Structure 1
Amino acid sequence: MNLMMSLDWVLLITMSLAFCQQLFSKKFNFFGVLSLLSLATYIAFHSYSTGLSIFILLLFIGGIALIGLEMFIPGGIVGAVGVITLVYAIIYVNKSTYYIAFILVISLILAVILYYVNRNVFHKKLMFLDRLVLNDSISTEDGYVASESRLELLGQKLIAYTDLRPAGVAILENEKLDVVTDGDFIEKGNKIEVIRVEGMRIVVKKI
């Protein structure tokens, strides 16, 4: 195994493990920098040996940009395209396509093992992604109450002020309230009852 092949193993495995570890940190830190530096070094070495390609440079910059954009447009699609772009750049820049694909598979397996250890042994959470995705449900049963939660309305009898399709307006004495059914259609003027209050969401049913 020559020096370049040894570097491929070290750089790509380091990139994968560092990226995995970054996911368990709140902020972009040493692991994120190490992952990027490993990838950049890999691309630089192979670009130097084969000649710098504008196409590879664009793939590299584009992949990083898409992954960064995922922080502002959560959903996973943009980030997935960015990862695929980088993987393509890694394989494209290397003359030994099957060999480098094998290293990537091994790197992925090691990253999955590290992910499993972090989640199940050290009980860590994906802190880096938690800033982008709301994973926790909020309900009154769990003790969360919105500042305008109307728990006192539970069991109250209201009148449908508008058709509920399923959302609409109901009236309690002289107060108009935004309410919603569990999917049923209720015509204006029908008597309704509050069956649940979930934060600011008032759920009703026809009496």
Structure 2
Amino acid sequence: MDIADIRREYSRDGLRRNDLKDDPIDQFNLWLQQAIDAGMTDPTAMTVATVDERGQPFQRIVLLKNLDQQGFVFYTNLGSRKAQHIAHNNRVSLHFPWHPLERQVHVTGVAEKLSSVENMKYFLSRPKESQIAAIASKQSSRISARGVLEAKYLELKQKFEKGDVPVPSFWGGYRIKPESIEFWQGGEHRLHDRFLYSSIENQWGIERLAP
């Protein structure tokens, strides 16, 4: 098999300027709801790209947990590699790959830490098993074997079996305040439709990009 020969035609409806909402958050919410209604697996999954102090990019997939006019929210261990990168350079990129709908959304923006109140509210809404796992795993650190992680999890599960799990100080969220949001819709003959929203003096401008 020659991977260079793997391709398919994009045959869904195109995207026109008149189809777009004036606000990109409203447009994103529309597409996200359509992805959910289509029964997509993990419609809130997004790639978060950061850059380390040497300029080396890293990517990983996390779940979008909230979205409003202020930005896109996700949670993580504040000692993780991504958190260390953000501490050094808080400019990040998000990517939503909605392949079954032949759509992509790309976001660039600035990451800001959430407040302790926001962190606590979400942490307490999580299943208890997820709360315990957040404490058991020192994200991105090296471990000798999976059994070490499992043993720590079981130890904490027994410890908090009859009580509440405290919100760990090393766990929290980030809000990505968007500066640009691009909507991509696949088109026939590789004539894809791309529209870029850019924030200019707190107002959104819209431009069509060549595919």
TM-score class normalised by the smaller sequence: under 0.3
Which structure has more relative contact order (CA 8 Å, sep 6+)? It is 2
Q: Greater share of strand residues, 1 or 2?
A: 2
Structure possessing the higher radius of gyration over alpha carbons: 1
- TM (norm. structure 1) is 0.20
- TM (norm. structure 2) is 0.20
Q: Greater share of helix residues, 1 or 2?
A: 1
